[in-house]
Amino acid sequence: MLSNVIVKHGWLLGAFALATSGLIALTHTLTKGKIAEQEQAKLLSTLNKIIPESGYNNGLSNDCILVSDERLSARQAMRVYRARMDGQPFALAAEVISPDGYNGNIKMLVALVDNQTLGGVRVLSHQETPGLGDKVEERISDWITQFNNLPAENVYDSVWAVKKDGGQFDQFTGATITPRAVLKGTKNAVTYLQQSWQASFQETDANGNPYPVCGATS
């Protein structure tokens, strides 16, 4: 009798686990498309903050290639988004990782418009100290917006530094390392984008190899 009860409970437990797994799988299937849609909308919103919407008419968040270059990241391929107006190059936005943050990597998105203007910079992820280094986030401070529409050639001048180092950019009280890292990452991204402007709008790299195509989310 006892063994029958144990078996019965075992079957009930198994059936419950199977039903729960099925429900989780169904929920994932039903919400997967919505989540992807929300992520793409968030990405496009970020891109439109650093690339003027009036300057392109292609599907920007989907016109994306993967690029391996140490100026963008020493360890992984990074996404480069291509904005075009009627098929003609207008702007590029590259992901870049600056490894020099106070607490490690700072991942950013940097845009170059018409190969001459820094459209803007936005921080995608970081681990900087709350209340100090996290002021690089747009939702916390407008510090990052000072890069909007600066001449790209400025990144090669001595003014491309925090004021503590003789440059034009404010540092944070008690946190200079984080702004320095953002400046360095931005300079690296702009340098890459300027030097690969024409090639980035092609379907193959300088060696004739097709660029890997990336997904729509970052």
Q: Give the chain as a 3 state SS string.
A: CHHHHHHHHHHHHHHHHHHHHHHHHHHHHHHHHHHHHHHHHHHHHHHHHHCCHHHCCCCHHHCEEEECCCCCCCCCCEEEEEEEECCEEEEEEEEEEEEEECCEEEEEEEEEECCCEEEEEEEEECCCCCCCHHHHCCCCCCHHHHHCCEEHHHHHCCCCCEHHHCCCECCECCECHHHHHHHHHHHHHHHHHHHCHHHHCCCECCCCCECCECCCCC
pLDDT of residue 11: 65
pLDDT of residue 218: 40
Q: What is the mean pLDDT of residues 198-205?
A: 90
Q: What is the mean pLDDT of residues 165-174?
A: 91
pLDDT of residue 68: 93
What pTM was computed for the model? 0.80
Lowest mean pLDDT among 1-10, 35-44, 116-125: 1-10
Residues 6 or more apart whose CB falls under 8 angstroms from that of 40 comprise 61, 216, 217
Contact present, 102 and 175 (Cβ < 8 Å)? yes
pLDDT of residue 191: 96
What residues make up the domain containing 14?
A: 1-218
Residues 6 or more apart whose CB falls under 8 angstroms from that of 91 comprise 51, 52, 55, 56, 82, 83, 111, 112, 113, 114, 119
Rounded to an integer, what distance in angstroms lies between the CA atom of residue 178 and that of residue 187?
14
190 versus 5: which is more confidently predicted?
A: 190
Rounded to an integer, what distance in angstroms lies between the CA atom of residue 50 and that of residue 109?
9
pLDDT at 203 over 90: no
Q: What is the mean pLDDT of residues 73-92?
A: 96
How many independent structural domains does the chain possess?
1
